[in-house]
Amino acid sequence: MFDIEAFLLKHQIQPYINRVKIFEFIMYNDHPSVDEIYKGVRKTNSRLSKMTVYNVLEVFMRAKIVRELRLNEKEARYDIRVEDHGHFKCKKCHKVFDFYVEMDSIKYELPFDCFVEKKDLFFYGICNKCLERRKNKAQTITKML
């Protein structure tokens, strides 16, 4: 079993209850949004505020134990896998999946001299489960006709 309190202490973060619960929620819920974290943790802590969630996430990101994913201008998700990897977002169910990518092998040419701090690779499409549902629905309709 993973000891969240020891992990936070190892990263110089005091393991206050909200921090432990928020990290635990992210750990067991793939790529949650702030709203999902807030609603999920609030079930066991009715005094939790959304501002606390934002503040704790900021502490985690500064310590580099949580990574923020900006899927678009309005949507941020959070991931405990901080090493480089890609993300796939399903347009139907809106789930975000991790996938392996060798970031250093991607060829790119920046328009000017600059320093890259973070690399993100996002793919968008339809996941296997949603494709299967679509296929089953089409087969059901065909049988009805």
Structural contact between residues 125 and 91, judged by C-beta atoms closer than 8 angstroms: yes
Instruction: Give the residue-averaged pLDDT of 126-140.
Output: 84
**pLDDT score of 144:** 65
Would the pLDDT of 65 be above 80?
yes
Pick the more confident residue, 140 or 95.
95
- Alpha helices (runs of H) in the chain, residue ranges in sequence order: 4-10, 17-28, 34-42, 50-62, 128-144
**pLDDT score of 127:** 94
d(CA 86, CA 84): 7
pTM (two decimals): 0.82
Strand, coil or helix: 22? helix
Instruction: Give the residue-averaged pLDDT of 65-94.
Output: 91
Name the token pair of 14.
Answer: 């005091």
Strand, coil or helix: 90? strand
**pLDDT score of 137:** 73
**pLDDT score of 134:** 80
- The overall average pLDDT reported for the chain is 90
**pLDDT score of 42:** 95
How confident is the model over 24-49, as pLDDT tens digits? 999 999 899 999 999 999 999 889 99
All structural domains of the chain, each given as residue ranges with its CATH number in brackets, are 1-81 (1.10.10.10), 83-145 (3.30.1490)
Q: Which of 94, 77, 82 is nearest to 25 (CA)?
A: 77
